[in-house]
Amino acid sequence: MSIKKVTITGAAGNIAYSLIFRILSKLPFKATDKINLTLLDIELSQKSLTGLRFEIEDCAFSTLNKIAITADSEKAFDDSDYIIMVGAKPRSKGMERSDLILDNAGIFKSQAETINNVCSSSTKIIVVGNPANTNALILNYNTPKIPNENVTSLMKLDQNRAKSILASKLDKQVEEIHQMIIWGNHSTTQVPDLYNCKVKSLIVDVEESWIYGTFIPKVQKRGGEIIEFRGLSSAASAASAIYDHINILENGSDEWESLGIMTSGEYDITEGLMFSLPLSISENSYKVIPDVNINSKIADLIKLSEKELLKERDIVKQYLP
Ligand code: NAD
Ligand code: LMR
C-alpha cells in the first residue's frame, strides 16, 4: 500500500476546514492509497484542532491512514511528502495582501528552516498564506535543501476566477475555455491575460473595453470583493483551487496552467521572484510555455506586477539569506 505524509499548516482555520474534507474525499495524489495527515496550528488552536480531528475521524474516510494534530512544527514537517502552507494571518476589509507582509514573513522563515532540517529534497510545498508569492520566496530562500521547483505558490484561484468570468461573458461552459494565463503576483496587480484563450480552438474575441474595464479589474479585485460581501476572505474557493493545484502537479494537465514559480529570466522577468507564468505540466514536472504572444498593454501590466514583487522582495530582504 502506498502512503504519503501530508502536512497542512493553519489547519484550524477557514481554508483548512474545506480543504481537508475535499482532499480526503478523493485523494489528488498520484498512486497513493492513503495519507498520514498531520495538522499544524498554534498552541491556542489545539482545542479546536481536537474537535476537527473528531470530525475527520467521524467521516471514516478510507483514504486516511493516520491523523495527528500538533503545535510542534518539527513533528509536523518531519518526513512530509507534501506540505500545504496555509497558516498565516488573512487580510480584512480595506487591507491589501501586502499589508500582511511583515506579520507573516517571520512565520515562513522559521517554518522554512524547520522544513530544511527535517524534510527530504523530494518534499513538495505549496504556499497559500498571503502575500503568497513573497512568502513562497522566503520559503524558497530558506530551504536550500529543497529544489526551487518543488515550491510553488497558489495562483490557481485567480485562473479559475478568470475562466469563470470569461465563460459567463461568452455564455460558454468553463471547460470550453482554454489557455487562460495569469501573469505576476497574487495581488491586485496580477495580469489575467485572455489574448491567447481559445474556445473550441477559436481564439476568443471580446471588446477591448470589456477586457481592460471589466475583466482584468474584476479578477484582480475578486479576493477583496469576497471579503467585502462575506466579511471573511475566500475559503471554500481557495480550498478548491489548492485541490486543483495539487491534482495538476501530481497528475499533469492538458491545459495551460498558471502557478507561482521561481523565475530564471523567462519573458524578461527579473530572476529570483516567485511569479505566475504559463506552464505546461506533466506528471511531477513543469515547463514554462515559451513564445506566448504578449501585446504591449499586457506587457506594461506585467511590468507593474514585477515591480510590486521587487518591492515586496525588498521589504523582506532581512528574511532572505
Ligand atoms: P484563518 O485565519 O481562518 O486561518 C489561519 C490559521 O493559521 C489560523 O488557525 C491560525 O491560528 C493559523 N496560524 C497562524 N500562525 C500560524 C503558525 N505560525 N503556524 C501554524 N498555524 C498558524 O485564515 P484562512 O482564511 O484559512 O486563510 C489563511 C491564509 O491564506 C491567509 O493568509 C489568506 O490571506 C490566505 N489566502 C490565500 C489565497 C491564495 O489564493 N493564495 C486564497 C485565500 C486565502
Ligand atoms: C483571495 O484571493 O481570495 C485571497 O488571497 C484572500 C484575499 O485576501 O483576497
State in Å: Cα 91 to ligand 1 middle. 9
- Please tell me if the CB atom of residue 259 comes closer than 6 angstroms to any atom of ligand 1: no
DSSP per position, 183-247: EB-SSTT-EEE-TT-EETTEEP---HHHIIIIIHHHHHHHHHHHHHHHSS---HHHHHHHHHHHH
pLDDT of residue 202: 87
pLDDT, residue 116, reads 98
Mutate to test the pocket of ligand 1, among 17, 41, 222 (most ligand atoms within 8 A of CB): 41
SS3 label, residue 85:
strand
Task: Report the DSSP beta bridge partners of residue 260.
Answer: 153, 276
Per residue in 107-146, pLDDT tens?
A: 999 999 999 999 999 999 999 999 999 999 999 999 999 9
- For residue 91, pLDDT over 90 is answered with no
CATH for the 3-153 domain, from 3.40.50.2020, 3.20.20.150, 3.40.640.10, 3.40.50.720: 3.40.50.720
The response to whether residue 240 sits with its C-beta less than 6 Å from ligand 1 reads no
Tens digit of each residue's pLDDT (9 = 90 or more) over 25-38: 999 999 999 999 99
Ligand 1 nearest atom to the CA of residue 100, by list position: 32
Ligand 1 centroid – CA 85 distance (Å) = 8
Mean pLDDT of the chain: 97
- For residue 9 and ligand 1, the question of a CB distance below 6 A is answered with yes
How high is the pLDDT of residue 200? 84
Q: Report the nearest-CA residue for atom 7 of ligand 2.
A: 223
Segment 174-192, tens digit of pLDDT: 999 999 999 999 999 999 9
121 vs 153: CA distance, rounded Å: 18
Q: Residues 65-92, buried b or exposed e (16+ Cβ, 10 A)?
A: eebebbeebeebbbebbbbbbbbbebbe
Residues lining ligand 2, judged by CB closer than 6 Å?
90-91, 97, 130, 157, 223-224, 226, 233-234, 238
Domain 156-315 listed as CATH 3.90.110.10: yes
Assess whether 186 carries a catalytic annotation.
yes
**Domains of the chain by residue range:** 3-153, 156-315
Instruction: State what percent of residues in the chain have pLDDT above 90.
Output: 93
Helices then strands, counting H and E runs in the chain, come out as: 10, 14
- How close is the Cα of 310 to the center of ligand 2, in Å? 20
pLDDT of residue 201: 83
How far apart (Å, rounded) are the C-alpha atoms in residues 241 and 22? 11
User: What separation in Å is there between the alpha carbon of 216 and the centre of ligand 1?
Assistant: 26
In angstroms, the CA 171 to CA 215 distance is 15
Q: CA torsion sign, 168 to 170 to 174 to 177?
A: negative
Which residues are within 8 A (CB) of 291 and not within 5 positions of it... i.e. 6 or more apart?
A: none
Distance (Å, rounded) from C-alpha 277 to C-alpha 40? 30
Cβ-based neighbour number of residue 206 at 10 Å: 14
Q: Which of 46, 39, 38 is nearest to 3 (CA)?
A: 38
Set of cell numbers at residue 58 = 467521524
pLDDT band with cut points at 50, 70 and 90 for residue 106? very high
4, 156, 186, 313: the catalytic one is: 186
pLDDT tops 80 at residue 251: yes
Q: pTM for this one?
A: 0.98
